[in-house]
Amino acid sequence: MKKNWIPEIYYEEADETGLTSHIPFVAVPDGEEMPNLLYIFESRDTGEFEPGPDGEDLPVQQLDLHQYADMAALKENLDLQTYDLVRGALGLEPLKTASEIGKNITARIRSNLQ
């Protein structure tokens, strides 16, 4: 059985003008695939403290687990109606509407470049 590869999330430095435009990225090693689902903990200070190993005050953290799915995998495996329901639940336009908006934006950019 293949051991699960653990992806690492990277960020470009704030002053860099790199490939990802400051969007986090995952460097996928040879022989591995980008996972279809990422689990990420949200960590928040509770404002409370508990004693540490040496009696020092340590802040108490609240951890909530979030799951982030690959939209390409959902699009490939769901019918259009269900996929649009998922998009709507995430605050996105239906795919057909989003595609039209994207085409209009691309057309405006192209006309501005001419």
Contact 91, 71 (CB under 8 A): no
- Domain check: are 65 and 75 in the same one? no
Supply the pLDDT for residue 16: 63
Give the position of tokens 């960020």. 11
| Enclosing domain of residue 27 | 1-69
pLDDT digits (tens, 9 = 90+) for 70-81: 999 999 999 999
- Domain check: are 8 and 55 in the same one? yes
Report DSSP letters for 19-82, one per residue: TTTT--EE-PPTT----SEEEEEEEEEEEEEEE-TTS-EEEEEEEEEEEEE-HHHHHHHS-HHH
- Domain check: are 53 and 86 in the same one? no
- Domain check: are 6 and 28 in the same one? yes
pLDDT above 70: percentage of residues in the chain: 94
In total, how many domains does the chain have? 2
- Domain check: are 48 and 96 in the same one? no
- Domain check: are 96 and 86 in the same one? yes
Supply the pLDDT for residue 1: 43
- Distance in Å from the first CA to the final CA of the chain: 55
Supply the pLDDT for residue 13: 77
